[in-house]
Amino acid sequence: MSIFRKKSLSLLKAEATAEGAHTLKRTLGSGALLGLGIGAIIGAGIFVRTASAAGNYAGPGVMWSYIIAGLGCVFAGLCYVEFATMIPIAGSAYTYSYATMGEMIAWIIGWDLVLEYALGAATVAIAWSEYLNKLCQTFFGFTIPYALCHSPFQASLATGEHGFINIPAMGILAILSWILIKGTKESSNLNNVIVVIKVAIVLAFICLGWKFINPANHAMIVPPNEGGHAFGWQGVFRGAAIVFFAYIGFDAVSTAAQEAKDPQKGMPIGMLGSLALCTGLYVLFSYVLTGITNYKEFSSTGPGHEAAVAYAISTNMPGYEWFSGLITVAILAGFSSVILVLLLGQARVFFSMAHDGLLPKVFAEVHPKYRTPAKANILLFLFCAVFAGIIPGDIVGEMTSIGTLFAFVLVSAGIIVMRRTDPNHERPFKTPFVPLVPLLGMGVCFFMIYHLGWENWARLIVWLGIGMIVYFGYSKKHSKLNQA
């Protein structure tokens, strides 16, 4: 059937090596790709999700939660790298699925990636707005009017005032979209500056907080079930599904493969290097955080459930209260780089889908001067800005996580399929121990999806159902392969 028609590897390879006015400019070296990976991974997740998972599910065992979530990413990452070096073209999981499992599956995964990239960027922009308000209050003594930084569907519990539009969230999306239009190299340079700032603050917290660790807080790394809370190893696994959000975006590095100077060398460094480095930082960070403050204080009813890291510093690190303000700066920097990389990734996925005819060709048009998908960036900004400006941030919830995990499952399966259907194709990087590694990646990701609950399964099914309507209503008819 035509809906399962595959895009040949020879055609993909020709597109990857093509040069001209309609191709993206190769400007990213290995260091820039590594910076993109770190910029995508280390966001506010490390500051927010760590305490939430520890206080409500895993206790100090949140360290194990990060390791479990990281393993799922490593297994999937090994599969991503094989594809990214074999098919160094924009599109990431969408492109890989097109080559291995056919057009309809590729459309499903491309539509699914909207949950991770576009809606993820909008959601992070809403949170960026909230922390900007905290920064203004802490350092400058004023707050942004409620109506100008909240959705019209929100109302202040203190005053009853209704929101009107979230201008700061829309503003940061506009600024970062403009930077992306100007050039991928310029975007990468900004990202590298942000990465240095937030990694420095994370390292400073680990080093300064180490001497304040109370051994009693680590007396039981995996606490038993108590008071109706699912701690124990079940809590650790649930915590892994929660902190997985902190890893979202590392696969966005693969969307920039067509802009890498040497993808065969840069992709493994960018994806696997950033994963290894960030997992180490996450484990150390969670060890220090749960060491200086008892995990029970981070529960939904505890005094430190909001602004947890700032609370831990101000209550248990005497003499370093000033450092809590820098944590807010790090969170804002982390949000900014995550939004930047997510917007970059979504624009590249749309670029590839439009190039194949599955989306209108406007998404595949390249700016004549900057050699970036400028129109795709503008349209993406408009979509994200509407969402960020008028919709409350908690609407998406954990859909971003389940969408990403689903993408990881399909990429891992694609490696097994490709090894059977095209075993002799040149592979600059080979995923080791196939099919064991892809199967482990699929298993760990399915395990975390299970722990996200049936509500998120239902939301994912509804979203994919809308995608199938779009596919059969527009994309299938306009597909270049079907027209051919």
To the nearest whole number, what is the mean pLDDT of the chain?
Answer: 83
User: Which pLDDT band holds residue 287 (cuts at 50, 70, 90)?
Assistant: very high
Task: State mean pLDDT over 289-301.
Answer: 87
pLDDT beyond 60 at 20: no
pLDDT beyond 90 at 243: no
- Region of poorest pLDDT, from 260-274, 323-337, 396-410: 396-410
- Cα-based angle 222, 228, 231 (whole degrees, multiple of 5): 15
In this prediction, residue 306 carries a pLDDT of: 58
Instruction: With beta carbons less than 8 A apart as the criterion, state whether 260 and 267 touch.
Output: yes
- Domains of the chain in start order, with CATH, are 22-88+111-400+441-451 (1.20.1740.10)
Task: State mean pLDDT over 340-348.
Answer: 85
Instruction: With beta carbons less than 8 A apart as the criterion, state whether 117 and 345 touch.
Output: yes
pLDDT beyond 70 at 301: no
Q: Which of 15-19, 88-92, 339-343 has the highest mean pLDDT?
A: 339-343
Task: State mean pLDDT over 325-333.
Answer: 81
User: Which pLDDT band holds residue 191 (cuts at 50, 70, 90)?
Assistant: confident
pLDDT beyond 60 at 484: yes
Residue 359's Cβ-count burial label (10 Å; 0-12, 13-18, 19+) is buried
pTM of the complete model: 0.78
Give the tens place of pLDDT for each residue, 60-78: 999 999 999 998 889 988 9
At 458, the amino acid letter reads: A
Give the tens place of pLDDT for each residue, 217-242: 998 888 877 655 568 888 888 888 88
- Asked if the bond preceding 435 is cis, omega within 30° of 0, the reply is yes
- Region of poorest pLDDT, from 130-134, 301-305, 447-451: 301-305
In this prediction, residue 224 carries a pLDDT of: 77
Task: State mean pLDDT over 260-279.
Answer: 85
Q: Which of 247-261, 272-286, 393-407 has the highest mean pLDDT?
A: 272-286
Instruction: With beta carbons less than 8 A apart as the criterion, state whether 411 and 451 touch.
Output: no
pLDDT beyond 50 at 22: no
Q: Taking the CB of residue 157, how many other CB atoms lie within 10 A of it?
A: 6
Identify the CA nearest to 346 among candidates 29, 90, 6.
90
> If DSSP codes are grouped into helix, strand and coil, which group holds residue 28?
strand
pLDDT beyond 50 at 21: no
Q: CA quadruple 297, 300, 303, 307: dihedral positive or negative?
A: positive
Give the tens place of pLDDT for each residue, 374-389: 888 999 999 899 888 8
User: Which pLDDT band holds residue 56 (cuts at 50, 70, 90)?
Assistant: confident
CA–CA gap between residue 343 and residue 32 (Å, rounded): 16
